[in-house]
Each structure stands twice: as C-alpha cells, then as structure tokens.
Amino acid sequence: MTARSWRRQLTYALLRLEDVVETGIAAGARLGGHRYPLIIPFIGHGTTERARVGARLVLGRRAAVEPSAPAVRIGDAPSSPRSRRATLRVSLARFLTVEVPRASVTIHAPGGDVVVQTNRDGYIDHELELSGVAPGWLELRLSGPDGAHATARVLLVDPAVDVGVISDVDDTILNTGLTRGLDFLKATLLTDVEERTPLPGAAALYRALVTKPGKPERPVFYVSTSPWNLHEMLLQFVSMRGFPLGPLLLTDWGPSHTGLFRIGAQAHKPGLVRRLLDEHPQLRLVLIGDSGQEDPEIYGDIAREHPDRVAAVYIRRTTGIDLGRNDEIDALAAEITALGVPMRAVDDSVQIAEHASEHGLMDADAVAAVRAELS
C-alpha cells in the first residue's frame, strides 16, 4: 500500500468516525435541550460586485435562538469576570458544537433571495453576486430551518481605496503563546476574553494604518489558523480592544478530504492572500505577522511573486525564539527589501508605526498615539 493510499484510507476512516461521534453528541445534545437550529454568522467580505458570505448552522437551546444577538460595539465595557470553571465551560462549549449538515439557508440579498446548502460540517461559504450596492458595510439577513435567523455583516471594499492590511492574529495582535503549548491552552481555555491581552500599541497602530484623513477607510483582514469556533470570541476581542473591524479568516479543525487534522499556515494563508490580491486588484497590501510560525516565509514568497502589490512586510519578534531563527528572518528581510519591498523584523508597534509613516503608509502625527498606547 502506498503512502498516499494509506493516508486516503486513514482520512476516510477518521471522517466516518467523526460522523459517528457527532451523531452521538447530537443525540445527547437534543436530550439536553439543544435541539433548535441556530445560525452563527461570520463577517463577510468582497467588492460592490461580488462578496463572500459565511456562516455555520448548529443546534442550540431555544433561549439562544429566540433573542437577536446584540452587536458587539467598540469600547463595550468588560463584564464581571467569570470563575475559572465557568470560563472553561464556556471555552469548551465553543468546540463541542452540534452542526446541522446539508440544510437549506436563505441569504436575503439586495438582488433577491439565494438558497444555499450547509456542508457536512454545517458551514455555508457562498460567493454572492451583487449589483447597485454602495461600498462599506452591508447587512444581510440569513434564515434557516425552524425559524433560525441571523444578520451577517459584509465588508464591501471601496474601489477608491489603494492600500489594505492583512494581519495574523496569534502573537501579532493577541498574546496567545501559540509556540508554547501549555501557555496557548491556558489562554484559549482558561482565560476569559475580557482578560486576553492585546499586544501593546497594536490597536492604535491598526487604527492609524486604516485611517487616512479625507479618504475611505482601508480594509483590514485578520488571517489565522485558529478554528472558526473562536470567531465570536476573536470578534469580541477585536471590538472590545479598539481594533478596526474586519473579516476574520479562520480554518476548520478536524479531518477533511484535504487534511487529517488542523490546516497548517502554509496551506491556509498563502491561498487567502493570493485570493485577496485577485479580488482587489487596486490594493497594495501591508502584511503583518510574527516570527513564531511561518509568517516570514509566507509573506516573503508573496512579496517575491507580487513586488508591486506588497507595500510593506512587518514581522513581530516573539519571545522564546532562538538567535538562529532571528538571524534567518533578518537575512530574509534584507533579501526582500533588496527586491524593492520594505520588510522589517520589529520588537514593538512603535517601530512599525515609525517605518510606516516614513513610507507614507500612515500619518506621522499618528506615531505619537501608538507610542502613548505602548507606554
């Protein structure tokens, strides 16, 4: 048996095992009152002609279905802190979802209703044709079986905008300790969203990068290999900590026809960045990541392929990285910079702000605000 054949059979077996386990979980959930379909919308994105709309259909309790979910607002005050046990229970609930596969969901679009089917994991990911809509934020009503409903927000990038930002999440805007396993588990499962720590100065930096006086706001896309189960938590973090709102482009964990378990960064991020370049041919991109994983190499490859489309690359140095890795990143940054694309490995948000202002990517006056937030 070849390695490819063995892998294919193992993937098939895991998919069948996942179906059996999820059937058992669904039966237990229904007995516990989780029997009503609930639509969880994701932030969509696109242009005034075409947009991508995503959501997930899961089972929930009636109390979670009937009220409309309140929108998360910038600057919402943190609620009273939960106990560690309560935080763990909420965190685990994000992953122990019961999906509703192969169900119909209707997107009530400006040009008419569109009916789509959820996949085997309860997701919809639909590319919607648009006409006669203005750039900015578009709200789309979604409806599903048994009265399930939700509102999805979709960012339609203004064609007059010339620069966009693509940012990693883990250890780039949010301290997660992704390269340190126990720290990552503690942050993910035992730390409430109100207690999650943003990187100092990052929110002020991102606000400065997307705002130019007298011009439409630039888009920011948050790209991460975190699972879609964390979308709501990350959205709350972005809003609460004052980061500009933007699509969160995450992944699905678990066996699939393209992989056995978690989708790696090399399989996820390059394709997303290239797709965004294709969808928005007028945009030059500022790419921001960290040294903990493969961001330097991924962004370096994109800069080599599209030197005229990448405005700058910034890599945050994470703690615990050995000197050899730092040397590799510095050498890569020098190579990419020599090709005409500024690439910098930095220690903090102020270094990014100073470099970006020197290259006309943000106003020089905004550097002081980043420095103030950092301190």
Residues 225, 130: one domain?
no
- Residue 67: predicted pLDDT: 37
Residue 73 pLDDT level (bands cut at 50, 70, 90): very low
- Residue 322: predicted pLDDT: 81
Paired with 312 in beta bridges are 286
| Cβ pair 359, 311 in contact under 8 A | yes
Q: State mean pLDDT over 160-169.
A: 96
Reading the block at residue 2, the tokens are: 């070849």
- The domain boundary, picked from 107, 140, 156, lies at 156
Residues 335, 237: one domain?
yes
Residues 95, 172: one domain?
no
3-12, 37-46, 81-90, 114-123: range with lowest mean pLDDT: 3-12
Cα→Cα distances 226→16, 249, 265, Å = 24, 9, 10
335-363 pLDDT tens trace: 999 999 999 999 999 999 999 999 999 99
- The domain boundary, picked from 156, 179, 201, lies at 156
Residues 147, 260: one domain?
no
Residue 205 pLDDT level (bands cut at 50, 70, 90): very high
Residues 152, 171: one domain?
no
Residues 250, 139: one domain?
no
pTM over the 0.85 mark:
no
Cα→Cα distances 325→297, 328, 346, Å = 12, 5, 14
- 10 found inside a domain: no
| Cβ pair 16, 23 in contact under 8 A | no
Residue 293 pLDDT level (bands cut at 50, 70, 90): confident
State how far the Cα of 357 lies from the Cα of 349, in Å rounded to an integer: 12
On the question of pLDDT at 277 being above 60, the answer is yes
State how far the Cα of 30 lies from the Cα of 26, in Å rounded to an integer: 6
- Residue 197: predicted pLDDT: 80
Cα→Cα distances 370→11, 205, 212, 314, 375, Å = 47, 6, 15, 16, 9
Number of domains in the chain: 2
Vertex 270: Cα angle to 105 and 259 (nearest 5): 65
Q: Which structural domain, as residue segments, surrounds residue 61?
A: 36-72+81-156
Reading the block at residue 245, the tokens are: 């709102």
State how far the Cα of 149 lies from the Cα of 128, in Å rounded to an integer: 18
Residues 240, 368: one domain?
yes
- The domain boundary, picked from 156, 173, 206, lies at 156
Mean pLDDT of the chain: 83
- 19 found inside a domain: no
- Residue 1: predicted pLDDT: 59
- Contacts of residue 51, defined as CB under 8 A and 6 or more positions apart, other chains included, come to 44, 45, 127, 128, 130, 138, 154, 156
Residues 117, 241: one domain?
no
